Amino acid sequence: QVQLVESGGGLVQAGGSLRLSCAASGRTFSRYSMGWFRQAPGKAREFVAEISGSGDSTWYSDSVKGRFTISRANTESTVYLQMNSLKPEDTAVYYCAARMVRAGYDYWGQGTQVTVSS
């Protein structure tokens, strides 16, 4: 079992920054690839960023490349999403998720709200 808890969301002005955190339970955190997704009301959930278990590889959606950075601290069993140059279009509930290599995202957090005002 993997339990994920997001934190760090809130209200920020356009152009500002936020750092989201996702704390994971369990003893095998480094074996999981971790991802961030987001969902705005009335829209489908979309991929934001992913990081490999070791932290050596990262992937980003085109909409956030150059602005967001995903990282992880395996000793603390935590993954982060640093969000800079935020835009109103980034407003959504942000979810972290975990998957094993060659598997789907089977574990999800409860989400944290990010609101960017213009």
Averaged pLDDT for residues 80-109 = 96
Quick: pLDDT tens for 55-74.
999 999 999 999 999 999 99
Cα separation of 110 and 88, whole Å? 22
Token readout for 108 is 């999800």
DSSP assignment of 42-93, as one string?
TS--EEEEEE-TTS--EEE-TTTTTTEEEEEEGGGTEEEEEE-S--GGG-EE
Cα separation of 112 and 101, whole Å? 25
- What is the residue-averaged pLDDT of the chain? 96
pLDDT at 26: 73
Quick: pLDDT tens for 9-65.
999 999 999 999 999 997 789 999 999 999 999 999 999 999 999 999 999 999 999
